[in-house]
């Protein structure tokens, strides 16, 4: 065997072992069982949606920073399906908050008219999210675009295997 082939195989083996070790330590969102009126058992995921609280994202002078520090976790349960990432993101995009969550300062940027999640693909730790935004509602200033990006990214990254989030088209969330 050539030296370059041996080196390639050794590197591939180390990367494979590292991937196995990494994925074996990732914890999926908690799985909950509920019994609905003793009729049937419904399984759900306990997930976190990340909205934005501008009051939690200010510097000492009171200026809004437009950073991840303003992300506000909101707990929800969704039915257990084969598409939990897509289900969680669609729920985030609805922007449904309780009155107490709104009173706590959480200000949903969603829903955005026309914005729809068209596809979700996880490969090699990279989650590709394809959106349709015919009215360009994901743009509108660096602060706003960043906050929208952060909310979707944080919500998606809670799922096992998601290390990076990529948006399609790349023109989304531009100032």
pLDDT in tens, 117-131: 999 999 999 999 999
Asked whether residue 173 is assigned to any structural domain, the reply reads no
pLDDT band at 42 (very low <50, low <70, confident <90, very high): confident
Asked whether residue 175 is assigned to any structural domain, the reply reads no
- pLDDT digit string, tens, across residues 151-161: 999 999 999 99
What pLDDT score was predicted for residue 40? 64
* Cβ atoms of 129 and 120 closer than 8 Å: yes
What pLDDT score was predicted for residue 166? 97
Asked whether residue 41 is assigned to any structural domain, the reply reads yes
Asked whether residue 4 is assigned to any structural domain, the reply reads no
Query: Nearest CA to 58 among 49, 50, 66?
Result: 66
Query: Nearest CA to 115 among 86, 88, 94, 146?
Result: 94
Residue 37 has pLDDT above 80, yes or no: no
Asked whether residue 134 is assigned to any structural domain, the reply reads yes
pLDDT band at 115 (very low <50, low <70, confident <90, very high): very high
- Crossing angle of helices 84-94/142-157, nearest 10°? 140
Gyration radius of the chain's alpha carbons: 20
Asked whether residue 47 is assigned to any structural domain, the reply reads yes
Residue 35 has pLDDT above 60, yes or no: no
Domain extent for 46 = 29-168
- pLDDT digit string, tens, across residues 43-102: 998 999 999 999 999 999 999 999 999 999 999 999 999 999 999 999 999 999 999 999
Half-sphere exposure of 81 (CA within 13 A, CB side): 10
| Tally of structural domains, the chain | 1
- pLDDT digit string, tens, across residues 131-147: 999 999 998 889 999 99
Asked whether residue 122 is assigned to any structural domain, the reply reads yes
Asked whether residue 174 is assigned to any structural domain, the reply reads no
* Cβ atoms of 44 and 32 closer than 8 Å: yes
What pLDDT score was predicted for residue 39? 55
Residue 25 has pLDDT above 90, yes or no: no
What pLDDT score was predicted for residue 15? 47
Tell which wins on pLDDT, 168 or 9. Answer: 168
pLDDT band at 13 (very low <50, low <70, confident <90, very high): very low
Q: Give the distance from CA 12 to its chain's centroid.
A: 30
């Amino acid at each position: 065997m050539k030296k370059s082939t041996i080196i390639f195989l050794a590197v591939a083996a180390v990367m494979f072992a590292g991937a196995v070790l990494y994925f074996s330590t990732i914890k999926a969102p908690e799985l909950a069982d509920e019994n609905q009126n003793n009729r049937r058992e419904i399984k759900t995921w306990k997930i976190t949606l990340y909205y934005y609280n501008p009051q939690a994202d200010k510097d000492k002078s009171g200026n809004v920073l437009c950073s991840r520090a303003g992300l506000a976790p909101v707990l929800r349960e969704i039915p257990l399906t084969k598409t939990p990432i897509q289900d969680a993101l669609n729920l985030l995009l609805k922007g449904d908050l309780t009155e107490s969550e709104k009173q706590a300062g959480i200000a949903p940027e969603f829903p955005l008219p026309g914005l729809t999640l068209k596809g979700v693909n996880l490969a090699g730790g990279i989650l590709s999210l394809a959106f349709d935004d015919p009215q360009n509602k994901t743009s509108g200033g660096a602060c706003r675009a960043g906050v929208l990006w952060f909310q979707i990214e944080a919500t998606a990254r809670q799922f096992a295997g998601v290390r990076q989030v990529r948006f399609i088209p790349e023109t989304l969330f531009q100032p």
